[in-house]
Homo-oligomer: A and B are copies of this chain.
């Protein structure tokens, strides 16, 4: 099958760019020093590629992601980096022979792990992003509680998510260091081998974690693409068809806000000014000097945020540079 034969809108993955991204990251963070975050792509076949680059542990955001990875035979070391109360499905995964570790930031979550049958935890520490995580000063006591009720505490995690898209590398480094000081202080009270955190935006600057939780690096989006010291290539686009062109100067592609995660803004059309998205359309005008497209033309658009974009599609199509579709991978970890 050729790119031109795909029904649009369609997620298109440039295999060569993907492989270069995976190689760049694994050169810098080999093996267990990277724990790829599966939430960015929700695709077990892509996780399999990450594993082939030497990373056997994965980071997950939902129970469904954990269950699906285990079912795909990728359950060697799964970290649910999120707080969950009903862990019965996770307990079944552990019973099935996979290794599951969950984030814990309060006593109810710790007790949910025990009653759900999950035996290994990381203490999730709030390092500055107002979201989950115990205050650093409370991490030791929570670890003690976990151990007292039979949990194995493997270490700590703390995500400096509010820093990922800071434009200035020096500022990002300085603030990351402050966050990681909090995490290391908590780790001193908690113990364990694991200090987990970081992401694509701090892939080189976060030198304190034992494992980096990056996900976006594999596929990328326009938000991360705007950061000068993040060298990963745009490997994922949404293939669209032009379905209407106005004599007044705008064109309409057949992919809209149901084909793109919109929380970081509109997708990008190369050489054009995007006016807005509606459910199934993106309306744009070409920049000065560029000819407008014609009805039937195909345009590859770049999502502003890759994670929710993948979550909207059933499949991603793997293409080589000549436009051959090599495989179509199910985005099989969607939902909850």
Contacts and interface: CB of A to CB of B under 8 A. Distances in A.
Interface in A276-311: 277-281, 283, 295-296, 305, 307-308, 311
A244 B106 contact: yes
Interface residues of A, number: 58
Nearest to A295: B108
A173 interface: no
A8 interface: yes
A83 B256 CA distance: 13
Interface stretch (A126-134, A185-193, A219-227): A126-134
A274 to B, nearest CB: 12
A39 B131 CA distance: 33
A65 to B, nearest CB: 10
A53 to B, nearest CB: 23
A10 to B, nearest CB: 8
Nearest to A124: B244
B295 A313 contact: no
- Most B Cβ at <10 Å: residue of A126, A161, A243: A243
A336 B126 CA distance: 40
How many monomers of this protein are in the complex?
2
Interface stretch (A141-149, A206-214, A247-255): A247-255
A314 interface: yes
Nearest to A215: B279
Given A9-B336, A277-B263, A246 B86 contact: no
A130 B108 CA distance: 52
Interface string A70-84: 000000000000111
Contact of A131 (B10, B241, B278): B278
Contact of A262 (B63, B262, B283): B262
Contact of A311 (B247, B252, B312): B312
15 contacts: A7-B86, A9-B336, A61-B279, A82-B243, A83-B243, A83-B252, A85-B243, A85-B296, A108-B296, A130-B275, A132-B252, A261-B262, A263-B277, A279-B307, A311-B312
Interface of A: 7-10, 39, 61-63, 82-86, 105-106, 108-109, 126, 130-133, 135, 161, 241, 243-248, 250, 252, 254, 257-258, 261-263, 275, 277-281, 283, 295-296, 305, 307-308, 311-314, 334-336
Given A133-B244, A257-B263, A261-B262, 20 more contacts: A61-B279, A62-B280, A82-B243, A82-B254, A83-B252, A84-B243, A85-B243, A106-B244, A109-B243, A109-B244, A130-B250, A131-B252, A161-B278, A257-B305, A257-B308, A258-B307, A258-B308, A258-B311, A279-B308, A312-B312
